[in-house]
């Protein structure tokens, strides 16, 4: 049984769920999931959880994401990217590199974004993209996001290559559209490549073809990331044998405490050999089990 996380370098032209299905076939298991959905045209880091790794997904810290993106000035579309229908084209010749950098800097920090209509955000129980495909546009509530870095890498009008470091929930498509509005000429996204998603890095990613070759050669373990390693941001509490046995039976050992753990904060309970046994949450001064992990 394979347990843990893989980082797939998602290619363009397929959905995140398509990748999950391919990994299921390669590994011969149904227990596969992903975090951080990428649009079909986007590429890069797609974290894939396998086996017991799927249980760790809710506790991951993917608060920081990084992207390499390409923007096209002078064009606005209904999807905010090149896959959509053109809404209008405008002259971009007045945009200088200095003016572009100034407009980008104005979007750095804590800002609010209105989710695009072509997104999986639900309103009234319906994903927005389903409403958009029916020609409907509804009012959406702005959401707070944080843009940590928004840097110009290269500018060859009308194309701008940029680097974005942002909080979870940020739509880079919306960032491009907002930038275009501020510049007065419009802009849309033409390329998007995710390089970082929390603890997952592009440098550690595999293509689906590389994954297939590793499995065939029996060398998958060298690229498998353990659930415990991906929960490194959580406090760890090591238990002795008796305590570990209780946790495996779904109980928190009497007197087990996590000093300094804030209300609602989670921690990892491990065996004395470092094996991940469970994730527990601090509730009213006590630890409550949230998810147990099967260990051999």
- Residues 79 and 116 sit within 8 Å (Cβ to Cβ): yes
Q: Please choose, from the candidates 6, 71, 84, 76, the residue with its C-alpha nearest in 3D space to the C-alpha of residue 45.
A: 6
Instruction: Write down the pLDDT at residue 89.
Output: 96
Stated pTM of the model: 0.91
> Which residues in the chain are classed under CATH 2.30.130.10?
234-292
Selected residue with higher pLDDT from 131 and 207: 207
> Which residues in the chain are classed under CATH 3.30.2350.10?
4-61+202-228, 64-197
Q: Which CATH class is domain 4-61+202-228?
A: alpha beta
DSSP 128: H
- Residue 97: phi and psi, rounded to 5, are -60, -40
Active-site amino acid positions = 39
DSSP annotation string for 22-61: HHHHHHT-S-EEESS---TT-EEEEEEEEGGGGGGGGG--
Contacts of 296 (CB under 8 A, 6+ apart): none
Mean of all residue pLDDT scores within the chain: 93
Q: What is the tens place of the pLDDT at every residue in 138-150? A: 778 889 999 999 9
Q: Which CATH class is domain 64-197?
A: alpha beta
Q: Which CATH class is domain 234-292?
A: mainly beta
The two tokens of residue 295 are 């260990």
* Residue 49 confidence (pLDDT) above 80: yes
């Amino acid at each position: 049984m394979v347990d843990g996380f893989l980082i797939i370098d998602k290619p363009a032209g397929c959905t995140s769920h398509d990748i999950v299905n391919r990994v299921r076939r390669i590994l011969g298991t149904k227990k596969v999931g992903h975090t951080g959905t990428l649009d079909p045209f986007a590429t890069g880091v797609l974290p894939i959880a396998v086996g017991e790794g799927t249980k760790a997904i809710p506790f991951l810290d993917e608060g920081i994401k990084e992207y390499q993106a390409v923007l096209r000035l002078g064009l606005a579309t209904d999807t905010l990217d090149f896959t959509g229908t053109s809404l209008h084209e405008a002259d971009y010749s007045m945009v200088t590199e200095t003016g572009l950098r100034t407009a980008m800097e104005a979007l750095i920090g804590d800002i609010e974004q209105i989710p695009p209509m072509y997104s999986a955000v639900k309103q009234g129980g319906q994903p927005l993209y389903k409403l958009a495909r029916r020609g409907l546009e509804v009012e959406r509530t702005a959401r707070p996001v944080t843009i940590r870095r928004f840097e110009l890498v290269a500018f060859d009008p009308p194309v701008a290559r940029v680097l974005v470091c942002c909080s979870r929930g940020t739509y880079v498509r919306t960032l491009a559209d907002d930038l275009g509005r501020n510049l007065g000429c419009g802009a849309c996204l033409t390329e998007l490549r995710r390089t970082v998603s929390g603890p997952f890095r592009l440098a550690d990613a595999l293509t689906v073809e590389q994954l297939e070759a590793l499995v065939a050669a029996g060398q998958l373990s060298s690229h498998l990331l353990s659930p415990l390693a991906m929960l490194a941001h959580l406090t760890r509490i090591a238990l002795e044998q008796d305590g570990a046995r209780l946790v495996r039976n779904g109980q928190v050992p009497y007197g087990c405490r996590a000093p300094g753990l804030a209300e609602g904060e989670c921690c990892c309970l491990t065996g004395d050999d470092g094996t991940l046994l469970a994730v527990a949450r601090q509730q009213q001064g006590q630890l409550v089990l949230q998810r147990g992990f099967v260990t051999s």
